[in-house]
Chain A
Amino acid sequence: MQARDETRFTNRGFTLIETIIVLLLLAMLLGVSGSLFVVGLHAWDAGRIRAGIREDVSYAMEKVVRDLKEMANGSLDQYDPGSGDIAHTIDFNDLDGNSFVFYLYNADDSSFDSTYSESFYDLRKATKAQLDAGNYDAGILILRSLVSPDATPPATALTIDPNDPNQVTLYFVVQRSDEIVRTRTKVRPRNL
Chain B
Amino acid sequence: MKQGFTLIELLIAIILAATGLMVLMQLMSIAIFADSDLEYSLIVLNLANEKLEELKDSSYSSVVSTIESSISGFSFVDDRIVTVSEVDPDLKDVQVEVRWTQKGGQQSIQLRTYIANY
Contacts and interface: CB of A to CB of B under 8 A. Distances in A.
Contacts of A26: 14
Contact of B29 (A12, A14, A43, A58): A43
Given A13-B4, A184-B46, A185-B46, A25 B11 contact: yes
B89 interface: no
Interface in A164-187: 164, 166-167, 181-187
A47 B14 CA distance: 31
B53 A188 contact: yes
A54 B40 CA distance: 10
A10 B35 contact: no
A43 to B, nearest CB: 5
Interface of B: 1-5, 7, 10-11, 14, 17-18, 21-22, 25, 28-29, 31-32, 35-36, 38-39, 42-43, 46-47, 49-50, 53-54, 56-57, 73-74
Contacts of B2: 10-11
B57 A166 contact: yes
A34 B25 CA distance: 10
B36 to A, nearest CB: 7
Contact of A54 (B18, B22, B38): B38
Interface of A: 10-14, 18, 21-22, 25-26, 29, 33, 36-37, 40, 43-44, 47, 50-51, 54, 57-58, 61, 65, 149, 164, 166-167, 181-188
B33 to A, nearest CB: 9
Contacts of B43: 181-183
Q: Chain B interface secondary structure, helix, strand, loop or mixed?
A: helix
A58 B49 CA distance: 13
Contacts of A57: 42
B73 to A, nearest CB: 7
26 contacts: A10-B3, A22-B7, A36-B25, A40-B29, A40-B32, A43-B28, A44-B28, A47-B32, A50-B35, A51-B35, A51-B38, A51-B39, A54-B39, A54-B42, A58-B42, A167-B57, A181-B39, A182-B43, A183-B42, A183-B43, A184-B47, A184-B50, A185-B49, A186-B53, A188-B53, A188-B56
Nearest to A18: B7
Contact of A29 (B18, B25, B46, B54): B18
Contacts of A12: 3
Contacts of A185: 46-47, 49-50, 53
B69 to A, nearest CB: 17
Nearest to B44: A183
Given A22-B7, A25-B14, A186 B54 contact: yes
A47 B49 contact: no
